[in-house]
Amino acid sequence: MRIKHYTLFILFVVCLGLMPFTRAISAELSPPQQAISEASDKLQQRMQDQNFLKDFNKVTQFVDQAINPHVDFDKIASLVLGKAWKTATLDEQKRFKKEFQTLLVRTYSRAFSEFKEWSVRFLPTEMEDGATKVVVKTEVLQPGIQPIAVNYRMYLANGEWKAYDIMIEGVSLVTNYRTTFSDEVQTKGSLDAVIDGLAKRNAVALKNS
């Protein structure tokens, strides 16, 4: 049950590099770890402004702009839809990626205002020279609870390391969402209907925020 409770929050905290990391080991971080650590400094500093956090639309815009260089949303969207991505039209792919990205960003933005005392510990990562893919292992720490094991998949794209999946205590975010959207496509009868529903949920959530 703990995995379900923390899944979305941990995704953004770790995968997108939005948490303070243990400074004692920062100099020893590998390039993919550094990609996360560098983003965390910028975002952590901005998110300490309580007045800024009151404007949820501005928060989501800032988060979206900040994490884009470090996350491959195109790849995540294609992996989440699986077979449906291959048969989708270019317009459906574009719309789904936009709405799914909005879903992730707004969920993280909301979670950030509720969870503050988190830190991340990097674990030894096996990475061969010249590797273009790596699984970075971490533990998320919070006072009063057991460390949460978080591994995330990254790959090298045009000289930059980008995240495309995360596994919380062995559970893949991509796999979870793939099951969810696959079920929705079957229930609603088309990918287009699923995208319309996602767009409406996003619009309502952002308006109410």
Q: Is the pLDDT of residue 18 over 60?
A: no
Minimum mean pLDDT range among 38-42, 72-76, 183-187: 38-42
Task: Kindly give, in sequence order, each residue whose CB lies less than 8 Å from that of residue 69, ignoring residues fewer than 6 positions away.
Answer: 39, 160
Q: Between β-strands 119-122 and 160-168, what pairing exists: parallel, antiparallel or unpaired? A: unpaired
Mean pLDDT of 139-161: 87
**pLDDT at residue 116, rounded to an integer:** 61
Q: How far apart are CA 63 and CA 154, in angstroms?
A: 19
Domain coordinates in residue numbering, the chain: 2-208
For residue 114, give the nearest of 56, 167, 41 by alpha carbon.
56
For residue 149, give the nearest of 132, 127, 168 by alpha carbon.
168
Mean pLDDT of 57-77: 88
- Please give the share of the chain, as a percent, with pLDDT higher than 90: 40
**pLDDT at residue 62, rounded to an integer:** 85
Q: What is the pLDDT of residues 88-105, one digit of tens each?
A: 999 999 999 999 999 988
**pLDDT at residue 78, rounded to an integer:** 97
Mean pLDDT of 201-207: 91
Q: Is the pLDDT of residue 149 over 50?
A: yes
Q: Is the pLDDT of residue 35 over 80?
A: no
Tell me the CATH number for domain 2-208.
Answer: 3.10.450.710
Q: How far apart are CA 137 and CA 111, in angstroms?
A: 22
* pLDDT-derived band at 69, boundaries 50, 70, 90: confident
Average pLDDT, the chain: 82
* pLDDT-derived band at 3, boundaries 50, 70, 90: very low
- In one letter, which amino acid is 163? A
Mean pLDDT of 37-62: 77
**pLDDT at residue 110, rounded to an integer:** 76
User: pTM, whole model, 2 decimals?
Assistant: 0.81
**pLDDT at residue 4, rounded to an integer:** 47
Q: What is the pLDDT of residues 113-137, one digit of tens each?
A: 666 666 778 888 888 889 999 998 8
